Amino acid sequence: DLAALAALGARDALAPARTIKHAPEYTTRTALADAGFSEPFVEDFFRPFLSGVFLEDTLETSSRVFHLVWRSMLRGALCLPAFGVQSVPRALAAALPEGTVRLGAPVSGLADGAVLMADGTELPARAVVVATGAGAAARMLPGLDVPAQRTVSTYYHVAPRSPLRQPVLLVDTHRRVLNTCVLSEVAPEYAPRGSALVATSVPGDDTEPGRSAVVTALAEMYGTDTTGWDLLVARTIEDALPAMPPPWPLTRTCRTGKGRYVCGDHRGTGSVQGALASGARAAREVLEDLGGK
Ligand SMILES: Cc1cc2nc3c(=O)[nH]c(=O)nc-3n(C[C@H](O)[C@H](O)[C@H](O)COP(=O)(O)OP(=O)(O)OC[C@H]3O[C@@H](n4cnc5c(N)ncnc54)[C@H](O)[C@@H]3O)c2cc1C
């Protein structure tokens, strides 16, 4: 298994993304078996780890998506911005002229050459890029092909002291939780001094019976007494990721009609980098169509 892991790592890290995008496509489970991994290694490592990445636990995700995500993990470092993942759109917006971005301005629909705002106003637009989640995109662009969505719930516990003094993601071979991590070990900004913030994700809706099972699983995984931990909040995100079984299209155009475009993780790999890549493609197509550079 270690030799297979090294071979997989070398291949995915070095292969250009376009080679992976056009490689033969299977489920991730088949791709891992073909790559020479034993069934116990797949069950004990890949299945629990990837269930937290793809929010499904049968390894049915497209092998192309798996190889692209694996490639990103090998070539970059997993990270958590000190002030939350919103730092990414903030950094992008900071480069734009003042007043370009309006926040808290929901769109209710599209009209010919215009965007209809929920407050009743209309914004004329030569090009409209719908960059919402899949459900809202399908409402604005009738007939758009959108994938099923995966739901995830995350429990945030406050512990009086860190149960693990390392910035690592723990996965659960018993698959009671998707993964758990002491966020304040990754970024100390996430908890006041003298306490620790632990984030634990489970698949699907946040349900009451799940709560005690989660705390019991955490006690075992961290090897500590969790009775003194306080549940700060539990959040359920319904459209957390698209389901990405094969065949999963990765090279579709963003154009959906004259002056209309769509982008987002549901048009690429379900991930931040997939959403960014899809947005970059939409930008290239808009520029091409408007005759810009
Ligand atoms: C708990 C959790 C953990 C995750 N962890 C990771 C991770 O570690 N690494 C990773 O790569 N990915 C992770 N993901 C996935 C990642 O967050 C998504 O793939 C990514 O955010 C998708 O970006 P997007 O731009 O396509 O859509 P979104 O980020 O969903 O953005 C769509 C935006 O459209 C806005 N919108 C919706 N409707 C309207 C409307 N009518 N008018 C105006 N605006 C509207 C929404 O408010 C939202 O801001 C995680 C997801 C969750 C839920």
Question: Tokens 């390894």 — which residue?
Answer: 59
Phi and psi, residue 230, nearest 5°: -105, 135
> What pLDDT sits at residue 251?
85
Distances (CA, A) of 221 to 57, 184, 185, 200: 19, 17, 16, 11
CB 151 within 8 A of CB 240: yes
How far is 51 from 60, CA to CA, in rounded Å?
Answer: 10
Which residue, 220, 215, 224, 243, is CA-closest to 55? Answer: 243
Q: How many A from CA of 71 to the centre of ligand 1?
A: 21
For residue 181 and ligand 1, the question of a CB distance below 6 A is answered with no
Place of tokens 């929920």: 118
Residue 48 beta carbon below 6 angstroms from any ligand 1 atom: no
- pLDDT of 187 > 80? The answer is yes
**Domains (range + CATH), the chain:** 2-75 (no CATH), 87-148+246-290 (3.50.50.60), 149-242 (3.90.660.50)
* 4 pLDDT higher than 90: yes
How far is 9 from 3, CA to CA, in rounded Å? Answer: 10
The CA angle 203-37-243, to the nearest 5 degrees, is 30
Strands (E), 100-203: 107-111, 114-117, 122-124, 128-130, 149-159, 169-170, 179-182, 196-203
The pLDDT of residue 212:
83
Record the tokens describing residue 256, joined without a space.
């959906």
Is 80 exceeded by the pLDDT of residue 293?
A: no
Atom of ligand 1 nearest to the CA of 136: 38
Q: What is the pLDDT of residues 135-150, one digit of tens each?
A: 999 999 999 999 999 9
Q: Beta strand pairing status for 149-159 and 230-242?
A: antiparallel
Per-residue pLDDT band at 180 (split at 50, 70, 90): very high
Nearest CA to ligand 1 atom 31: 132
